[in-house]
Amino acid sequence: MAQWKDTARVLEFSAFARKGIEKVKVRGLGDHELPSHNSSTPDQVPVINLEDPNAMKLVGHACKTWGVFQVTNHGVPTNLLQQMEAAGRKLFALPMQQKLKAARSPNGVSGYGVARISAFFPKLMWSEGFTIVGSPYEHARKLWPNRYSRFCDVIEEYKEEMNKLAQKLMSLMLGSLGVTMEDVKWATTQRSCPALQLNSYPACPDPDRAMGLAAHTDSTLLTILHQNNTSGLQAHKEGTGWVTVPPIPGALVINVGDLLHILSNGLYPSVLHRAMVNRTQHRLSVAYLYGPPSNVEISPLSKLTDQVHPPLYRAVTWSEYLGTKAKHFNKALSSVRLCGPLNGFADTNDHNGVRVG
Ligand SMILES: C=C1C[C@]23C[C@@]1(O)CC[C@H]2[C@@]12CCC[C@@](C)(C(=O)O1)[C@H]2[C@@H]3C(=O)O
Ligand SMILES: O=C(O)CCC(=O)C(=O)O
Ligand SMILES: [Fe+2]
C-alpha cells in the first residue's frame, strides 16, 4: 500500500513535469511557501577557504551564526564532482518505468522516489530523488542490467572522498568548541553509514507556484551538498529570512544537521533549508548525509555542559532519531529536548513563525 502510494506520487509528479502545472488540475502547488526574494540584504552565506590558517575559527563562527556555509579548497577533486553530477543526470534521464524498477520499498531507505518528507505535505514537490545507503549495486543493476559498474564506481569513490571531508569538517567544527576528535571516541574509531541523496528538479513552467523540496533540517551531524550551476537552494537565518545559497563552481555547501545541534548542546543550530525550482533549467544536487555509527548514542558533549549550561537534549541514536523525524518531522528536535527555553531564549530550531509546509 505504502509502495503504491509512493509510486503513484512519482507518476503524478511525472505528469506534472510533462504537461505543466496549468493543465493538471488534480492538485495545485500554490500553497507551498513562496520565496521571499531579499536581494538587498547584505547577509550572505559564508564562503570558507579550508586552506585558510583561520579555517577553524571561521567554520565555528559560520556554524554558530548560520548553520550553513560553503567551502572551497576542500580536497575533493573537481573531476569527481563532475562525474557524480553526470551519473545523476544519466540516472534521472532514464524513462520513468525504468526508474520505477529501482523504486524505494515501503520500509526501505534506498531507491528511487519522492522526498521522504512528502508525506507531511498535501501538495506534490517538484522533484524526484534517489537515495543510496550502503552498496549501490542492487539498485543500479535494476536500472542498467548490463552497464551498472561505472555508476557504482563513481558512487563508491564519491562516498570515500566525502567521508574524508566529513572527518575534516567534524574536527574543525568540534575544534572550534574546544573539543578534540579524541574526546569523541566513536568519531575516530568507528565508521558511520552515511546516505547519498541525489535530487533532480526539472525545469518548471510556473516556478512561483511550485516547491522543489520543502523547508526542512537534515537529521545528520552534517551534510555536504554539491549543487550544479543552477541556483535553487535557500537557507533560513533568524532575523534575515530566506537567503539563496548561490552555486559557486567547485565549492560545496555544508549544512549543520540536527545531531550536531544536539552534540553541541544547541551552540550550532541546524539550518532550515529548502530548494526552489527554475523556469528553464534542470537543477541537480547530491547530498552526502553524514551521521554517527548507528549504535552510538549522541548527547550534548560533557565538555560543553555544566550547572549553568545543562544538557538540553536527551541521548539519541541516529536510527532512533530518523524514526522520530519520520513521525514528527519538524517537531523531532523539540521532542528530544529535555529543558524548556532558558532565560527566554527559544530553541533556535523550533522555527516558530517559519512555515515549513
Ligand atoms: C539518512 C537519511 C537522512 C534523510 C533520510 C535518510 O534516511 C535518507 C534520505 C535523507 C533525506 C534527504 C532529503 C531531505 C530529507 C529530510 C528527506 O526526506 O530524505 C533527508 C532525511 C533527513 O535528513 O531526515
Ligand atoms: O537540492 C538542494 O539544494 C537541497 C537538497 C537537500 O536539502 C537534501 O537533500 O537534504
Ligand atoms: Fe536537506
CATH of 10-21+45-335, one of 1.10.287.470, 2.60.120.330, 3.20.20.70, 3.20.20.140: 2.60.120.330
Q: Which ligand is nearest to the CA of 245?
A: 2
3-state secondary structure of 221: coil
216 Cα nearest atom in ligand 1: 16
Report which of residues 122 and 83 the model is more confident about.
Answer: 83
Percent of the chain residues past pLDDT 70, beyond the cut: 83
State the burial class of residue 68 (Cβ atoms within 10 Å of its Cβ: 0-12, 13-18, 19+): buried
Whole-number Å distance, alpha carbon 219 to ligand 1 midpoint, is 7
Name the residue with the closest Cα to ligand 1, atom 10: 197
Three cell numbers, residue 191: 565508521
Residues with catalytic function: 283
Is 88 in contact with 198 (CB distance < 8 Å)? yes
Three cell numbers, residue 216: 526542512
Task: List the beta bridge partners of residue 1.
Answer: none
Three cell numbers, residue 300: 550534548
Name the residue with the closest Cα to ligand 1, atom 24: 219
Three cell numbers, residue 357: 509546509
- Locate cell 549550561: which residue? 309
220 Cα nearest atom in ligand 1: 23
Name the residue with the closest Cα to ligand 1, atom 2: 195
Q: What angle, 0 to 180 degrees and rounded to 10, lies between the N-to-C axes of helices 55-65 and 149-175?
A: 90
> Measuring CA to CA, which residue among 126, 124, 122, 322 is closest to residue 218?
322
199 Cα nearest atom in ligand 2: 1
Identify which of 162, 201, 233 to mutate to test ligand 2's pocket (most ligand atoms within 8 A of the CB).
Answer: 233
Give every CB contact of residue 92 below 8 A, 6+ residues apart in sequence.
99, 128, 130, 198, 200, 284
CA–CA distance, 265 with 288 (Å, rounded to integer) = 23
287 Cα nearest atom in ligand 2: 9
Please list the alpha-helical segments (H only) found in 195-269. 258-263
Q: Is the pLDDT of residue 216 over 80?
A: yes
Please list the alpha-helical segments (H only) found in 34-136. 55-65, 78-92, 96-99
3-state secondary structure of 239: coil
Q: Is the pLDDT of residue 350 over 70?
A: no
Task: Express each pLDDT in 146-205 by its tens digit.
Answer: 999 999 999 999 999 999 999 999 999 999 999 999 999 888 888 889 999 999 999 999
Is 194 in contact with 155 (CB distance < 8 Å)? no
Dihedral (Cα; 97, 98, 99, 103), 10-degree rounding: 80
Instruction: Give just the sign of the alpha carbon dihedral 69, 223, 283, 2.
Output: negative
3-state secondary structure of 233: strand
Whole-number Å distance, alpha carbon 54 to ligand 2 midpoint, is 28
Kindly report whether the global pTM for this prediction surpasses the value 0.95: no
Over the chain, what is the mean pLDDT?
88
The Cβ of residue 129 has, within 10 Å, a number of other Cβ atoms equal to 23
The Cβ of residue 191 has, within 10 Å, a number of other Cβ atoms equal to 8
Average of pLDDT values for 136-147? 96
- pLDDT at position 8: 57
> Which protein residues touch ligand 1 with a CB less than 6 Å away?
109, 115-117, 131, 195, 197, 216, 218-220, 287, 289, 322, 325
CA–CA distance, 257 with 271 (Å, rounded to integer) = 7
Q: How far is CA 333 from the centre of its chain?
A: 16
CA–CA distance, 336 with 313 (Å, rounded to integer) = 6
Task: Express each pLDDT in 227-284 by its tens digit.
Answer: 999 999 999 999 999 999 999 999 999 999 999 999 999 999 999 999 999 999 999 9
Identify which of 225, 288, 330, 356 to mutate to test ligand 2's pocket (most ligand atoms within 8 A of the CB).
Answer: 225
Is 49 in contact with 72 (CB distance < 8 Å)? yes
- pLDDT at position 5: 58
Q: Is the pLDDT of residue 21 over 50?
A: no
Average of pLDDT values for 138-151? 96
- pLDDT at position 107: 86
Is 85 in contact with 286 (CB distance < 8 Å)? yes
> Which protein residues touch ligand 2 with a CB less than 6 Å away?
197, 199, 213, 218, 225, 227, 232-233, 273, 275, 285, 287
Domain ranges for the chain, please list them: 10-21+45-335
State the burial class of residue 69 (Cβ atoms within 10 Å of its Cβ: 0-12, 13-18, 19+): buried
Q: Which ligand is nearest to the CA of 127?
A: 2
Average of pLDDT values for 316-321? 97
Three cell numbers, residue 40: 538587498
Give the CA diameter of the chain: 62
